[in-house]
Structure 1
Amino acid sequence: MRLVAALTRDGRPSVLRNARLSRLHHRAHHGRLIWCAGYLAPSAAAATVESMTPAVEVAPETLVAALRMPVWSILTRRADGIRRDLPPRPETTAERLAWLRSLNPEQARRAALLDHLDALRGHVTGYPALGYAVDDPMPDPALQEAEGFNPRVTVLIAVYRAACSGG
């Protein structure tokens, strides 16, 4: 699969720059994922190639650069929200063990998610987390945790996944 993105009038990829993503839609056509401006036709068969704008390929490295800060920001907001909901977490090991034992099951689940989000935030910013490949700048669990909180980021995540799977 080859990945392409619609161009704005000045020639920049609209997926990555100030596009009205609510009006961007993807269309699978001849084995390629194509992003086109305008509203989605009721069915895939109803869209025609003539209605699509010129396209360019988007490299995964470019998408990683575009995703790094938005994904980190979403993970940070989620972690901060969890951190505010939990009792203050002590620093020493013994106090932390007592703190973990004092949590109810829901709080313990949220504390585990907080640790997971903190590890993913570090990995996305260049501090590899245990269990994730050092050469994977945007591990899928980070994308999963960031997906759905911002429509633009969700679109970029879909484009990144398609670019990575299509080689």
Structure 2
Amino acid sequence: MKKITFILVLIGMITLQSCEGPEGPPGRDGFTVEAEVIEVGNVNFTPQNNFEFQIFLNPPILPADKILIYRLIDVDGGQDVWKLCPEYVFFNDGTLSHAYNYDFTRSDVLFYMEGFDLAGLSPAVRTNQIFRVVIIPGYGSNFRMDFSNYDQVMAMLGLSEANVKPIEARQ
């Protein structure tokens, strides 16, 4: 009886090894999507441009893609320090001094400042700002991590400083 059971189990295992499930949906041939990092430098927020700066994404991003924006806030020991936007800066009493914010569509990103007296702010916080736009492919938008850490985001996406492109290079 043990030999018959063993033989039946062996035949069952061999039979199940060769089974296949239903065919999945067809893929998109020749279509790859990769994360991108675009650097936008020398951004000036002035009364003349309504404290806004717009870039155009050419080619446009895909509908499911996500965007993260980081602003260069410091260089510490030769290492860039990036802060995730929106970024709010408050006075000591807790009222808003100013903020760096953005919105985006598939074809553009609008960077803008918010606050009560933007023209009265020091030029150091309004001019020559550097931003990085990280485009995360839609298939990767379910990553669970701290997106405020720029270095972790870059590592997760398999990107390095060599992958950072100035906005002109993307067009």
Q: TM-score range by the shorter chain?
A: under 0.3
Task: Give the TM-score, by structure 2 length.
Answer: 0.23
Larger proportion of strand: 2
> Structure with the greater relative contact order (CA < 8 A, sep ≥ 6): 1 or 2?
2
Task: Give the TM-score, by structure 1 length.
Answer: 0.23
Larger proportion of helix: 1
Q: Which has the larger radius of gyration?
A: 2
